A = this chain, B = another copy of it.
Amino acid sequence: MNAEFELIERIKNGIKVPAGITGIGDDCAIIPQQQGLDTLVTADLLVEGRHFLLEDANPEDLGWKSAAVNISDIAAMGGRPLAAFLSIALPSHLTGKWADRFAAGFKEACSAYGVSLLGGDTSASDDKVFINVTLLGQCPHGKALKRSGAVPGDIIFVSGPLGDSAAGLKLILEGKGAESPVLTSRHYRPEPRVELGQLLAATPGIHAMMDISDGVAADLPHILEESRCGASVDTTKIPVSQELKAICKSHGWPPLTLALDGGEDYQLLFTAAPGTPLPQGCTAIGTIEAEPGLRWLGTDRSFQGFKHF
């Protein structure tokens, strides 16, 4: 057995595939279709040194996160996540125990959200780790919540506190992760809002939705662009956690910068007609307006969000 097949065996180990579905082992996976549903597909590429640092992340967390960020894209349209396809290129010293641990974290996240790992690919890599995950989900036909549905007068909501992941990352990069296991865990183990996403997609009056991966300041403009409108955000309304407040206080960090410029919170950002009944934990942070542009109220600075390049 060569190293590639051995790696596939490590990844396959313990996978359960639902009845009627064909997973790893043939040229393709096979998933029966059902009239009245739409298939949702998303892909995310995670590159060592760009999206994660090998020395800072344990392999289980990296596996969890690789699955979770894609599951979050399905949640962001109100879909139910179903199937994952994992492609991973590893330098030879990581194809053993490291790969087992990565696969364990990946499968833990899949299992937590009802996702089956149905395929992918493996390769050697000279140096860096490259991970691509493609996630398939489904939702009732025509009911996916897109970025393009916002209309002037809509209230802008976020589904939970922002900035925790960015603060966790800041602690990790400064070698102070031990100061707040809560915040570092928010960074390493994001919990996509799958149930809430489906609930919102079934709620009349929700017009546009996405998940917050690059920070509100970078993500809200996507909704504004696709919906051809503008917005005002009241920065005094941005929800932040007690943990974030405490760590910002002790280090003199500005919570608002972490909350709006920091990415990877994987909360939902959505717009709703005034008066739409919403579950607890959703916080109004602004309004959609006809006038183009994004206006920050209650502050004299502006925000950019997380930049990848």
User: What residues make up the interface of A, taking CB atoms closer than 8 Å to B?
Assistant: 2-4, 22, 25-47, 49-51, 73-74, 76-77, 79, 83, 85, 87-89, 92, 118-128, 130, 132, 134, 136-138, 141, 144, 146-148, 210-211, 226, 307-309
Contact = CB atoms under 8 A, between A and B. Distances in A.
A19 to B, nearest CB: 13
A70 to B, nearest CB: 9
Contacts of A307: 2
Contacts of A83: 41
Contact of A30 (B35, B39, B132): B39
B34 A33 contact: yes
A87 B136 contact: no
B39 A31 contact: yes
A1 to B, nearest CB: 11
Contact of A33 (B43, B49, B126, B138): B138
A34 B38 CA distance: 9
Contacts of A28: 40-42, 73-74, 76-77, 79, 137, 144
Nearest to A309: B3
Given A33-B37, A130-B47, A147-B26, A124 B42 contact: no
B30 A77 contact: yes
A81 to B, nearest CB: 10
Contacts of A31: 38-39, 41
Contacts of A132: 43, 45, 87, 121, 130, 132, 134
